[in-house]
Amino acid sequence: MRVALFLSLLGGSLLGPLLSGCALRDEPVHGSGLVAASPVSNAIPEVVSPSREPIPSVAAKARLTPPPPADLWTRLREGFGLPHQQNASIAPHLSWYRRNPAYLDRVFERAEPFMHHILEQLEARGMPTEIALLPVVESAFDPFAYSHGRAAGLWQFVPATGKRFHLKQDWWYDGRRDVIASTEAALDYLQYLHRFFDGDWMLALAAYNSGEGTVRNAVRRNRAAGKPSDFWNLKLPRETRAYVPKLLALSLVVEDPARHGLVLRELPNEPRIALVETGGQLDLAIAAELAALPLDDLYKLNPGFNHWATHPEGPHRLVLPIELAESFTQALADLPQEQRLRWRRHEIRPGETLGHIARRYQTTVAVLRETNQLSGNSIRAGRHLLVPVAATAASDYSLSAGQRLARTQNRDRGGVRKTHVVRSGDTFWDLSRRYDVPVRSLAQWNNMAPGDTLRLGQKLVIWDRKANRQTLRTIRYQVRRGDSLARISSRFKVSVNDLLDWNGLSRDQYLQPGQTLKLYVDVTNQAEI
């Protein structure tokens, strides 16, 4: 009786909605097989379709839904969508990845903070998740990567394409290096290319490397000649012909690392970074202090900022480790507005312009005008300007554009970076004589003017060319068959990073026999050459 009553209630209240989507229309519903219930159980009966396949209850669905992957690699594989390719050009790149597990480990260590974010953006757009590996091919996941063709950042945007996809580029900030902004722009560009080439991801990827015009013209030539117009049959630049196979080879490694004798670095399937609004310009040294984070680490998460502070006009946000975001937000809220930047009262000297003063204090004319409510560029000697200045020595902002450039330029001239702590009686003139460097250079390295007063205990950066002038030699080395960056660096007692920097190379580039490399070698440190 209870079963009959339950069936009657079920038929009116539950079966109708459940079966309304099925193709039953007016066909009779046969009770046998629709409900399975135990006369001694109070559990909700399991409803089955006319085909006798069970329709799980809500509780059963919850039990059947698999938990999200604990590992980011698993999640990445689940979204793979590029067509499977069998082509001989993939094999050499696959072989290279197999032979260089240390390279993959370094690259994925750099990728770790950003990979979860990139993967989420791809999934939200329904794009193949292999594209999350594209920065490995583009930049080895180095947000500070810069190519001889003026491409910058993880996704290697050249200036014009960056502007086309709304990446701000000015003195304060370069959106091509901002991982959040450049990822959005790169995916916008790839989706545009996907539509441009009628849904062909292979052509879209090729065009991302060499431009849609280059690929479109190659397609047109093949069609006019009656040839296949897929990626593998196009006549494209050499770099592009290798570019797509590199990505495909890498996706094969990630798809089944064990098959290739590799173990990938563990990447948990959880966000590692948070985007925090700052509400205005903020000195990065102060931000690092509020976040309890080393300043270099803050720059690595926010590589778009060129100098010592965020952009006066935005973006007003910082990327932080997710576990520090809440405490930083609270600390920033407690910081008085006037303490976000340090200020200096500058007396205008005869002959000075806003441009001179802006360069001296590492800021811009626009900032000086806005801060001092100036309508134009006219200023008068003897009056004062309020100037925002870095909270600490320029050398502490070691990953700012100026410090990176100074480091490269002075290394190329054979300089050694030193830190000098100012003592009583020190002047720029005395230090310039001691280290044999120009006074103007010494002041510039430290974000100061030659006439500025030094403070006791102040730390100054000095690129000391005298220290190793007698033993450093510039040599040109011609690459031989079988050479590698590691082998050359070991032979000449220099680091691989220096070899890359001196020659504008990236770690995933192959050396070619006959290629000439520039090296700065300490002759006293060479066992044999």
Query: pLDDT band for position 114 (50/70/90)?
Result: very high
pTM (two decimals): 0.66
Residue where the block lists tokens 């009056």 = 383
Q: Which has more confidence, 452 or 432?
A: 432
Residue 528 known to be catalytic: no
Q: Has residue 526 got a pLDDT over 50? A: no
- pLDDT tens digit string along 31-54? 333 333 333 333 333 333 333 344
Of 53, 112, 138, 184, the active-site residue reads: 138
Alpha-carbon gap, residue 19 to 111, rounded angstroms: 48
Q: What is the mean pLDDT of residues 414-427?
A: 74
- pLDDT tens digit string along 435-488? 777 777 787 777 676 777 788 888 887 776 554 444 455 778 888 888 888 888
Q: Which has more confidence, 438 or 212?
A: 212
- Please name the residues in contact with 98: beta carbons below 8 A apart, sequence gap of 6 or more: 253, 260, 261, 262
- What pLDDT is recorded for position 398? 66
Domains by residue range for the chain, with CATH: 2-64 (no CATH), 72-260 (1.10.530.10), 273-339 (no CATH), 342-392 (3.10.350.10), 395-468 (3.10.350.10), 472-525 (3.10.350.10)
List of E strands, 38-188: 46-48, 54-55
> Are the C-beta atoms of 332 and 316 separated by less than 8 Å?
no
Q: What is the mean pLDDT of residues 231-254?
A: 96
Query: pLDDT band for position 410 (50/70/90)?
Result: low
Alpha-carbon gap, residue 240 to 210, rounded angstroms: 6
